[in-house]
Structure 1
Amino acid sequence: MAKKSTSYDESKIKTLSSLEHIRLRTGMYIGRLGDGSNFDDGIYILLKEIIDNSIDEYIMGSGNLIKVQLADNVVRVRDFGRGIPLGKVIECVSIINTGAKYNDEVFQFSVGLNGVGTKAVNALSKRFRVVSFRNGAYFEAIFERGELKSQKKGKAPKEKNGTYTEFEADPDIFGDYLFNQEFVEQRMWNYACLNAGLTLEFNKKRFKSEKGLLDLLASEIGEKTLYEIGYYRGEKLEFAFTHTETYGETYFSFVNGQYTSDGGTHQSAFREGLLKGVNEFYKKNYSGVDVREGIAGAIAVKLMNPVFESQTKNKLGNTEVRGWIVNEVKDAVADFLHKDQEAAKKLEDKIRNNERLRKELNSVKKEAREAAKKIALKIPKLKDCKYHLGDKEGDETMIFLTEGASATGAMVSSRDVYHQAIFSLRGKPQNTWGKKKADLYKNEELYNMMMALGIENDVAELRYAKIVIATDADHDGFHIRNLLLTFFLNYFEELVHQGRVFILETPIFRVRNKKETRYCYNLKERDEAMGSLSNHEVTRFKGLGEISPSEFGQFIGEDMRLVNVSIKSLQTIPDTLEFYMGKNTPHRRSFIMENLI
């Protein structure tokens, strides 16, 4: 049957005001919305944009203290910079493409959204108030959802120069959200380390760093370093690095104070420069894999005109920075190794050990590949999807790691075959805590899972944007979840660090009557449904396999609930895994007995 044609004429063309555009196309300005449970959710981007303006003031030499308060979802930020020029306060916070960020004489290394950030916060706030103090006078403007409601000016002889901003994110846009205090504190600490000498005060707690990225890296990896952290600070480049006993590579990269979670040209140039510096010092030709295995590094660059691959600035795209970053890193690394002979000796031991393990691993990988060929040409237990990471629609792809035939069956018939793949485990996978990486390749199921993910050789070859652990909400399901998390945190920690690993939430209860059906994810939702539906019946789902394919589709569709697996700090991982997944110590047994519900 032919599709009904829709008329396309002058009446269909719309021109939105900047305010309307921000509120209608929120994702273009702040990325995701979220409810505050993820570090990159929109409410933290709003907070970041306001603080970025204050950081810009500090970078330009004005104001070394920023006060941040958060209570009842209302954010208050006071800096002691130059203050917005009083006659331009309204324009600077409400009219797109207005500001001093376009003037290189005023702002050389801006971290904000180039004249858009504050306007986006204003447009997306239920209430937004800004007060600028300059030379004993002030100007105040109050907005609601981006529309000016009131303004006033006067004298303020006792107030120091600077800007006060207060906002409450609009629940019409963000829904039921809540700030996670730990996430905010992590941002404050990052800001302090990226701006040595600046003090940030969050709810009366102070954050200040004297050693910049050295402090940041030390707080992330703790004392389990193989040698003293190498550190360098230049005019436009700052970095710190060391090695640990963990697998893979871990980086914290920043551009003009913006955390680039997906790296970019500055991070790849740092990796290249490090390799060249090491080889120059040892007069060897070590491979990059052996030099960088187990590395933990932090790098920050200041650029006049950074080019990012998205509005939310997760990845730097400037290609012209590669040359000078490579050379500066190379010289600084070689200089560090010359000055610290003990670090040089331990690093060389680490590289040689990596080389030996890699050769041993390659031998095991070869055997595993030969064994896999005998099993099947296709990867057993994998129901693949059409698109993969790197394809045009690759960023929408995900793979569900699930258990058993019944759960897999429900998913297979209700999934999106273009973007959703499924790998089915036979049962409980091997506990990988304390095992060598070579052991993974000797375990048929874990090897097949790595092949399904595409990471058997390198995590850079990951085939899906999201790895979703989908297990039953019972004791066995939680145990399998823990075993899988142990696998990723032990050997592929960077996937967790990149925000690639998720846990699927599925309903535990179904409450329904003849008119309505509600699915509930916890006891509170169940009780609310029972209270509002008369003559209801309640079903308790014991496992994913009990949910019919016709019902299951909605739980892995648009309304899917995913919990991002995040780590507060790298240094806590080994101890946490050892406690939960190591030997059954009296300490753990008593913990379990005390916390049984």
Structure 2
Amino acid sequence: MEETKYTEDNIKSLDWKAHIRMRPGMYIGKLGDGSSGDDGIYILLKEVLDNSIDEFVMGSGKTIEISLQNNRLIVRDYGRGIPLGKVVDVVSKMNTGGKYDTKAFKKSVGLNGVGTKAVNALSSYFRVESTRDNQSVSAEFEKGVLINTEQLEETSRRKGTKVTFVPDEEIFKKYTYRQEYITKMLKNYVYLNPGLSIIFNGEKFYSEEGLKDLLGDSIAQENRLFPIIHLRGEDIEVALTFSKAQYSEEYHSFVNGQHTTQGGTHLAAFKEAVVKTIREFFGKNHDPSDIRKSITAAISIKVMEPVFESQTKTKLGSTDMGGNLPTVRTYIVDFLKRNLDNYLHKNTETADKLQRKILQAEKERKELSGIRKLAKDRAKKASLHNKKLRDCRIHLSDINKEGYLDTTLFITEGDSASGSITKSRNVNTQAVFSLKGKPLNSFGLSKKIVYENEEFNLLQAALNIEDSIEDLRYNNIVIATDADVDGMHIRLLIITFFLQFFPELIREGHLYIMQTPLFRVRNKKETIYCYSEQERRDAIKKLTGKPEITRFKGLGEISPDEFKNFIGDDIRLDPVMLDKDKTIDELLSFYMGKNTPDRQEFIIDNLRLEVDLVEEIQDEINQL
């Protein structure tokens, strides 16, 4: 065998922008098309916003203005402004920033000087303008390349920084910003920074009571076991209550304003502290699961020079608070032991309700223990020869492996559809769970049914969410069913299951419905897959002549060779989102409860008979 030459010519050193564009995942996690809240286009906005937030934290600039028009984002703050002689360097030279000096930014989010450089390199157009001392400087870039600078000029504009950018379509294919995800991000920013105003396309976001407002918006008053407990310290803020309407635990955790969606040392310490404090208050060694059952809580801490486990900062790795402060664990445990204990002593009605809740949880756990043991034994045996789950190699917990944010579980109906996806999937990041038919309607049923129903129990085990979603194995849970009446019904039943027992999966943006092509339009040179009527018409016009048109009736009809076109880079996903104006109970009652005149009217108003659609399509094909 001929030996491959390895010389100096093989060693390449990429400049900063080329490296970011070649390996964007190292800097912003994943790419995506905007259908997921952790897609790269939102990380770009977050990286720019973090700098403006840090200005507010340092006492400069109480308002941030954001505009989104045709994928062009403009972020304007009224902070101190980038030092005018460093405007170009700050957004185009790696390891350049003002946050290495902890005197200027003691508890900042962006510490490594990478953020705005990544935005610059991954944008087809990027402009930064800084104003201070009645002077301004601006610079324009394309894909990280400087194309124009305007030197010092006198101005009467208010001080601050203005960043404009358009994510590059070469990197982010066919992307679209979803305002719901931006709104959620902005709400978190104002909850964590009371007194800050963020104006987005004219809509103002503002919070006076911080994390108390966050929980107030996420759990309806009638569903709270008792009023929200709100505790504040110098570097810590906590809010918590318990839900009457959900079984599982729900946490919102933050470090230095960063939403740590995968928790970390602070969240582990918080969960331990809640159990420890409540055990000591009641003087009983209650089971941790009984204490935390149905908890809804938020914790925010500020740490000197935090260490995160990835560039996207979704999991805290720091064990120390920094400075002369104790460890993260000791700090949080001591704070809760002192403040939560005081609160419960002063609010005896809340303490009584909490104690009754714990005893009820204990009773339910004991009633379920036999069923759970049987279900776990069954799941263990099934896992040895589980035909329902075709697993992948990487999981969401593999935070240091490339692609962990792309981990996906497809929930399919029937063997034919699951077979096609299994053969065409990416075995590293895509898993398949096959349903044998229509799942049970779980509306109004207790958690007991999750263990008694083998399919639900195996799905729960596959996702690893029995106690909480902290150890969720896949970032994306995708319902992949046929686009017909039966497929729609199965979607509704699966969504009902998650809403009933694991609503935080939906709140945290993990559940999606996969769009599947309705038509294939092709000639000898080109094939176009169409997901709507309009796309089919456009494809016919584009290919001209008499192209061959195939209408897909179900996923099982699509061959594995074709399927890879729909679940790869071009996958189309619709996120399942909760209506902020409706509670989960209201949603489930309307769609899954007893048939009502209101629902019948809704169905009639929104129904379009399939047969009419088919006949219309056939007529058009015949006319070609």
**TM tier, smaller:** over 0.9
Determine the structure 1 residue equivalent to 2:540.
Answer: 530
Equivalent positions of 1:121-160 (< 5 A) are: 121-156=119-154, 158-160=156-158
Which of 573, 576, 579 is the aligned partner of 2:584?
573
Which of 25, 28, 44 is the aligned partner of 1:27?
25
Deviation (angstroms), 1:435: 0.4
Contact 1:338 1:344 in 2 (8 A): yes
Which of 431, 442, 452 is the aligned partner of 2:452?
442
Equivalent positions of 1:99-138 (< 5 A) are: 99-112=97-110, 114-138=112-136
Question: CA 1:582–1:379 in 2, change beyond 3 Å: closer, same or farther?
Answer: farther
Q: TM-score w.r.t. structure 2 length?
A: 0.89
- Larger CA deviation: 554-563 vs 252-261: 554-563
- Once the two structures are superposed, what CA deviation does each residue of 1:355-404 show, in whole Å capped at 9, x if it has no partner? 1111111122234456779x978556425336363577893654432222
Contact 1:221 1:570 in 2 (8 A): no
Q: TM-score w.r.t. structure 1 length?
A: 0.93
Contact 2:95 2:113 in 1 (8 A): yes
Determine the structure 2 residue equivalent to 1:257.
Answer: 257
- Larger CA deviation: 131-140 vs 271-280: 131-140
Contact 2:388 2:435 in 1 (8 A): no
Determine the structure 2 residue equivalent to 1:587.
Answer: 598
Question: CA 1:481–1:377 in 2, change beyond 3 Å: closer, same or farther?
Answer: closer
Determine the structure 2 residue equivalent to 1:295.
Answer: 295
1:266 paired with 2:266, answer yes
- Larger CA deviation: 587-596 vs 37-46: 37-46
Cα RMSD (Å): 2.6
Equivalent positions of 1:351-366 (< 5 A) are: 351-366=358-373
- Once the two structures are superposed, what CA deviation does each residue of 1:17-62 show, in whole Å capped at 9, x if it has no partner? 1121122221111122222222122222121112211111111111
Determine the structure 2 residue equivalent to 1:323.
Answer: 330
Aligned equivalents of 1:459 and 1:495: distance in 2? 7
- Larger CA deviation: 362-371 vs 540-549: 362-371
- Once the two structures are superposed, what CA deviation does each residue of 1:407-466 show, in whole Å capped at 9, x if it has no partner? 234344444556554333222111101100112222233334334445557656655554
Contact 1:394 1:464 in 2 (8 A): no
- Once the two structures are superposed, what CA deviation does each residue of 1:531-575 show, in whole Å capped at 9, x if it has no partner? 222331111111112123343344344544444444465973332
Question: CA 1:444–1:146 in 2, change beyond 3 Å: closer, same or farther?
Answer: closer
Identity of aligned residues (%): 51
Equivalent positions of 1:489-500 (< 5 A) are: 489-500=499-510
Deviation (angstroms), 1:201: 1.6
* SS class of match (2:284): coil
Contact 1:368 1:447 in 2 (8 A): yes
User: For this pair of structures, how many residues does the alignment match?
Assistant: 594
Q: Which amino acid aligns with 1:238?
A: E
Aligned equivalents of 1:176 and 1:554: distance in 2? 15
Q: Which amino acid aligns with 1:307?
A: V
Aligned equivalents of 2:150 and 2:560: distance in 1? 60
Determine the structure 2 residue equivalent to 1:475.
Answer: 485
* SS class of match (2:171): helix
Contact 1:239 1:300 in 2 (8 A): yes
Question: CA 1:233–1:462 in 2, change beyond 3 Å: closer, same or farther?
Answer: closer
Determine the structure 2 residue equivalent to 1:243.
Answer: 242
* SS class of match (2:170): helix
Which of 479, 487, 496 is the aligned partner of 2:497?
487
Question: CA 1:17–1:179 in 2, change beyond 3 Å: closer, same or farther?
Answer: same
Aligned equivalents of 2:275 and 2:386: distance in 1? 38
Question: CA 1:278–1:394 in 2, change beyond 3 Å: closer, same or farther?
Answer: farther
Aligned equivalents of 1:569 and 1:268: distance in 2? 29
Aligned equivalents of 1:13 and 1:250: distance in 2? 49
Contact 1:81 1:162 in 2 (8 A): yes
* SS class of match (2:240): strand
Contact 1:394 1:465 in 2 (8 A): no
Aligned equivalents of 1:124 and 1:413: distance in 2? 33
1:547 paired with 2:546, answer no
Q: Which amino acid aligns with 2:517?
A: P
Contact 2:262 2:470 in 1 (8 A): no
Question: CA 1:227–1:323 in 2, change beyond 3 Å: closer, same or farther?
Answer: same
Which of 199, 202, 205 is the aligned partner of 1:204?
202
- Once the two structures are superposed, what CA deviation does each residue of 1:464-516 show, in whole Å capped at 9, x if it has no partner? 55433221111110110110111112112333345443333322111122333
Aligned equivalents of 1:408 and 1:182: distance in 2? 31
Aligned equivalents of 1:145 and 1:394: distance in 2? 24
Equivalent positions of 1:399-478 (< 5 A) are: 399-415=409-425, 420-455=430-465, 462=472, 464-478=474-488
Deviation (angstroms), 1:525: 2.5
Aligned equivalents of 2:379 and 2:102: distance in 1? 59
Determine the structure 1 residue equivalent to 2:275.
Answer: 275
* SS class of match (2:182): helix
Question: CA 1:397–1:152 in 2, change beyond 3 Å: closer, same or farther?
Answer: closer
In structure 2, list runs of 5 or more residues that go unmatched: 321-327, 609-624
Aligned equivalents of 1:177 and 1:451: distance in 2? 33
Aligned equivalents of 2:402 and 2:215: distance in 1? 35
* SS class of match (2:204): strand
* SS class of match (1:555): coil
Aligned equivalents of 1:564 and 1:351: distance in 2? 35
Aligned equivalents of 1:125 and 1:473: distance in 2? 36
Deviation (angstroms), 1:9: 2.1
Aligned equivalents of 2:471 and 2:30: distance in 1? 25
Question: CA 1:43–1:560 in 2, change beyond 3 Å: closer, same or farther?
Answer: closer
Aligned equivalents of 2:192 and 2:235: distance in 1? 12
* SS class of match (2:312): coil
Q: Which amino acid aligns with 1:35?
A: D
Determine the structure 1 residue equivalent to 2:314.
Answer: 314
* SS class of match (1:344): helix
Aligned equivalents of 1:470 and 1:400: distance in 2? 6
Aligned equivalents of 1:454 and 1:262: distance in 2? 14
* SS class of match (2:566): helix
Aligned equivalents of 2:76 and 2:490: distance in 1? 47
Equivalent positions of 1:33-182 (< 5 A) are: 33-112=31-110, 114-156=112-154, 158-182=156-180
Aligned equivalents of 1:277 and 1:72: distance in 2? 51
Aligned equivalents of 1:81 and 1:216: distance in 2? 25
Aligned equivalents of 1:214 and 1:322: distance in 2? 23
Question: CA 1:143–1:424 in 2, change beyond 3 Å: closer, same or farther?
Answer: closer
Aligned equivalents of 2:240 and 2:72: distance in 1? 38
Q: Which amino acid aligns with 1:326?
A: V
Q: Which amino acid aligns with 1:490?
A: Q
* SS class of match (1:261): coil
Question: CA 1:297–1:457 in 2, change beyond 3 Å: closer, same or farther?
Answer: closer
Aligned equivalents of 1:492 and 1:424: distance in 2? 20
Aligned equivalents of 1:381 and 1:98: distance in 2? 52
Equivalent positions of 1:10-25 (< 5 A) are: 10-25=8-23
Question: CA 1:564–1:490 in 2, change beyond 3 Å: closer, same or farther?
Answer: same
Aligned equivalents of 1:102 and 1:122: distance in 2? 20
Contact 1:49 1:113 in 2 (8 A): no
